[in-house]
Structure 1
Amino acid sequence: MKERTISGSLFDVANTLFMLFILSVMVVPFVYILSYSFSNPGMLKGGLILWPAGFTLDSYTKAFADPAVLKSVFISVARTVLGPALMLLFTSMGAYTLTRSDLGGVKFFRKYFVFTLYFSSGIIPMYLLMGYLQLKGTFLVYVLPGAVSVFSMVLIKTYIEALPRELEEAAVVDGANDFRLFFQVIFPICTPVFAAVVLFECVNQWNAFIDTQIYNTMSPDLYPLQYVLYNTLNQINSLEQLKLQGQKGLGAITPQTFKMAITVITVLPIAFVYPFLQKYFVKGLLVGSIKG
């Protein structure tokens, strides 16, 4: 091994310090929010908080005391699971179809799908379409409109095109039809790019609440967690108003600590999912885009 030069060692030290600075910029704000949500407001003295001052769970108790919150958690989890699953199924099948150069009209469909990346119909036509399809006021309005993602389709298509063509040829020689070729040969080896697009869709579904405002405001049973917490935050303007909504003896709660607790509740689920998909996430984005 070559001996490290002084300039190389200095670069490593500077690079490490810079990355630690970037890490602290990203981590410290969340640590502050987490610590604030567990703190007793009477013991807070202002400034940066990196450890709870007077540990208390009153804010979280209040957040989960409302039955609407528990119901909304189920809706959010359901759309976060079903939405990406449907998107992956239909989008991957469409992406594989676009890789078949021998298919009649495939060049037109490639241009057609790419065109939709730059131009959309807008909110009003979408609202009218959902009404015409009788999806307003239903759970399906959360998952069906996003069942095909053109952005994800382009990523998957590029990834599949980078795979060795000999795999398909060998399967065809063994008598595999298109469905077996896709689901038994292509689908299993596309895990990296699938993990990337599924993570994108999971984050979108978990954080979505605008579609609820547009289509399901008259259906409280279909409110996702984000929309329920959004409404709750809008209703909390003072400590007195917060206490009127709950029961006596809530303990040390202020609107600020309650908002911090809600922020933690909405962020943690996705934060726990990301580490398990990270290795596939990075590989899927890089290999699928660079080799294309």
Structure 2
Amino acid sequence: MNTMTSNAISPRTKRRLQAPRRLLMGIAVPCALLLVWQVVGQQASMAGVVPTPLEVIVAWRDWIFADPGMGLNPYLGTWVGNVQYSTLRVAQGFALALVLGVPLGLMIGWSRAVALMLDPMVQGMRPIPITAWLPFSIALFGIRDLGSVFLIFLGAFYPIVVNTTQGARDVDRNLVRAAAMMGCSSWQMLRRVVLPSAMPSLFTGLRLGLGIAWTAVIVSEMVAVKSGLGYVLWDAYYVGRMDIVLADMVSIGIMGYISDRLIVWLERHVLRWRILQNY
């Protein structure tokens, strides 16, 4: 009877029933770490060196809600604007990586000739870190948004290409043979067989690429532009505002988490068939 009842519950209802438990499990460790941080930060040896969570929350509140004209503090009320600058740059660089990386990954994974021509170059350039591209970016684009977008694009591009390539190479050959027997052209094969089969790996690449994109935007804003969360992070460190530095780090983590959840939400809708198989 219990088995029949369990089988009758839809996956969506099951996830809804499990949501409170998942929430408690997700916040237990962060809350414990915050408590330890608060206790350690109040010790005399740490006072003034590492701000406590309460001090960070107060600074973060002023950074978000305070009136910019209320004092000499340059961080008052500037949080929303800086988040918008960083988010827009991530969106532009990530979109460019998506548009170029997915087709290239599919072609490298599906066509041996394309793989022989392009895969060695991709694999050779992939290990070059984002920081190594900073001088080139500044020399080419100057201290402008385009330099930051270029670095974000590079950061997101390679995970997308590599994972899409692997997904295209792992296509079930029985599906390929069946499609060929039904008279599919090369374009139809790529669009209706290879791309759907590569989707799970593609979404893995999107999540990895988006995470690196947020890393790249912070690195680029520290040097290549004069706005955004990365710029504030470096500026606050330079003037000794560690409370703003930590609030900035938490802000970056939150924005990265939200954007990752958006990719997961999209994956659940696009790959609904795969999720249902797990129940």
Q: TM-score, normalised by structure 2?
A: 0.59
CA-based RMSD: 4.5
Q: Is the 8 A contact 2:167 2:202 kept in 1?
A: no
Query: CA separation of 1:85/1:106 partners in 2, compared to 1, >3 Å: closer, same or farther?
Result: same
1:235 pairs with 2:239: yes
**Identity of aligned pairs, percent?**
12
Change (3 A) 1:100 1:210: same
Q: Which amino acid aligns with 1:206?
A: W
Asked if residue 154 in structure 1 is aligned to residue 162 in structure 2, the reply is yes
Residue of structure 2 aligned with 1:141, choices 134, 147, 162: 147
Paired residue for 1:264, among 239, 242, 250? 250
Q: Which amino acid aligns with 2:108?
A: L
Does residue 81 (structure 1) correspond to residue 87 (structure 2)? The answer is no
Inter-partner Cα distance in structure 1 for 2:125 and 2:54 = 53
Q: In structure 1, how many angstroms separate the alpha carbons of the residues matched to 2:232 and 2:186?
A: 47
Distance 1:84 1:235, change over 3 A: same
- Higher mean C-alpha displacement, 72-81 vs 140-149: 140-149
Contact 1:84 1:202 in 2 (8 A): yes
User: Which of these two proteins has the greater Rg computed from alpha carbons?
Assistant: 1
1:94 aligns to what SS in structure 2? helix
Q: Distance in 2 between matches of 1:116 and 1:275?
A: 29
- Provide the rounded CA distance (Å) in 2 between the counterparts of 1:273 and 1:147: 16
Once the two structures are TM-superposed, the CA of residue 157 in structure 1 deviates from its matched residue by 0.9
SS at match of 1:99: helix
- Higher RCO by CA contacts (8 Å cutoff, separation 6 or greater): 1
Alignment-derived partner of residue 8 in structure 1: none
Structure 1 residue 212 and structure 2 residue 221: aligned?
A: yes
Deviations 1:69-94 (A, max 9, x none): 32211111112323222212211111
Unaligned runs of 5+ in 2: 1-26, 45-51, 67-75, 272-279
Residue identity opposite 1:232 in structure 2? A
Deviation at 1:175, TM superposition (A): 5.8
2:254 is aligned with what amino acid? L
Letter in 1 for 2:125: T
Kindly provide the amino acid, as one letter, of the partner of residue 58 in structure 2.
D
Give the match's secondary structure for 1:209. helix
Check conservation: 1:76, 1:205, Cα contact below 8 A.
no
Tell me, yes or no, if structure 1 residue 197 matches structure 2 residue 183: no
- 1:164 is matched with 172
Aligned-partner SS, 1:236: coil
Aligned counterparts, 1:63-142, within 5 A: 63-64=63-64, 65=66, 66-101=76-111, 103=113, 106-118=115-127, 123=132, 127-128=135-136, 131-132=139-140, 135-142=141-148
Letter matched to residue 92 of structure 1: V
C-alpha offsets along residues 254-274 of structure 1, whole Å, 9 cap, x if unaligned? x65x55433332322223444
Q: Which residue of 1 aligns with 2:60?
A: 60
Alpha carbons 1:99, 1:160 under 8 Å: kept:
yes
Shift of 1:31: 6.0
Following superposition, the deviation at residue 111 of structure 1 comes to 2.2
Aligned residues: 223
- Map of 2:69 onto structure 1: none
1:223-259 Cα deviation digits (max 9, x unpaired): 221321331243235xxxxxxxxxxxxxxxxx65x55
More helix by percentage: 2
Q: 2: CA distance between counterparts of 1:80 and 1:98?
A: 26
